[in-house]
Structure 1
Amino acid sequence: MAAVGGDRAARLQGQLPARSRLPARQAHLPTTGDHRPPSPRAVAGWILRHPDTLTTSEQLELKAIRTHCPELDALTRHVRSFAAMLTGRQGEHLPDWLDAVRQDDLPSLHTLAAGIDRDRDAVVAGRTLPWSSGAVEGHVNRIKTLKRQMFGRAGFALLRKRVLLS
């Protein structure tokens, strides 16, 4: 039965005009050692990871992809400069980064830039100043978790005791 379906598909493929047939394989796309192009997930992982953590073959494949796709090249440059800005606590470079993002035709990054721009002062301060509200946020998260666990089980008195004793 499978041979009949396969035979029918082959006959239909043969009847299509040559220009409407799908190419068997894109020759210009970079491939891995097993002759398959890398998955979008793999490419995203290569872009998001620090360049020093990539293997030599991953670096070569990413370089080939960036050569063939200018949009991915621009995206990689923006992502890496943003990561360097965040890890290096260089919030003062944020306005320059936002301007550079707006100059490229990358709608997803434009959305991110617009969101950051709404709270620009807070983002710059968070990446520049040495103070952090992480400890307070941790306590708030712990209390909310306890509240969710206790929902519908007991009254305020037991919840209060549990928060104070934890």
Structure 2
Amino acid sequence: MTARPPSPRTVSGWILSRPEALTEPEQLQLNTVRAQCPELDALARHVRSFATMLTDRRGQLLPVWLDAVRQDDLPSLHTLAAGIDRDIDAVTAGLTLPWSSGVVEGHVNRIKMLKRQMYGRAGFGLLRKRVLLA
């Protein structure tokens, strides 16, 4: 009797997790899956190297990473690389600089939520008061 293979969702969760966060059995299963599928192994390498580049703020390594992605036969990553190429300066800055627009995006998201809640209920005056007081 053979063991059931892990689901694609489980494998993608393992690949996207930090290696030190995986348990020993999960690491063994992931290594087994990677050994049986060279495309999945290449994908895992690219995802992990991009995650390292992201967390360590090494945006200067992005061109090297893009070249490595293009050398492998992974169409979905080629699409990602093409999207990054369209605005490589912004992506490099985002991977390198310490500033983030996360706070601003949070406020924009909150205002949009309030606007959706108030749609059709009252005029601009009430919406303005809710945005300013919320």
Same fold, judged at TM 0.5 (above): yes
| Shift >2 Å, 4+ stretches | none
Using the alignment, how far apart are the partners of 2:29 and 2:103 within structure 1?
Answer: 41
State the TM-score, normalizing by the size of structure 1: 0.77
Match of 2:48 among 62, 67, 80: 80
Which residue in 1 is equivalent to 2:132?
164
Deviations 1:62-113 (A, max 9, x none): 1111111110110010000001111111111111111100000000111111
Q: Which has the higher contact order (CA 8 A, sep 6+)?
A: 2
- Tell whether 2:99 aligns with 1:131: yes
Q: Larger radius of gyration, structure 1 or 2?
A: 1
Q: Distance in 2 between matches of 1:161 and 1:147?
A: 12
Once the two structures are superposed, residues 106-162 of structure 1 have per-residue CA deviations (whole angstroms, 9 ceiling, x without a partner) of 001111111111111001111111222222212111111111110011011111111
d(CA) in 1 for partners of 2:79, 2:42? 16
User: Which whole-Å CA distance do the structure 2 matches of 1:108 and 1:145 have between them?
Assistant: 33
Letter aligned with residue 88 of structure 2:
R
Which of the pair is proportionally richer in helix? 2
CA distance in structure 2 between the aligned counterparts of 1:137 and 1:93, rounded to whole angstroms: 27
1:151 to 119, 126, 134: 119
CA RMSD of aligned residues (A): 1.3
CA distance in 1, matches of 2:124, 2:41: 55
Aligned residues: 134
Q: TM-score, normalised by structure 2?
A: 0.94
Q: Percent identity?
A: 77
- Name stretches of at least 5 consecutive residues in structure 2 with no aligned partner: none
State the SS of the aligned residue for 2:43.
helix
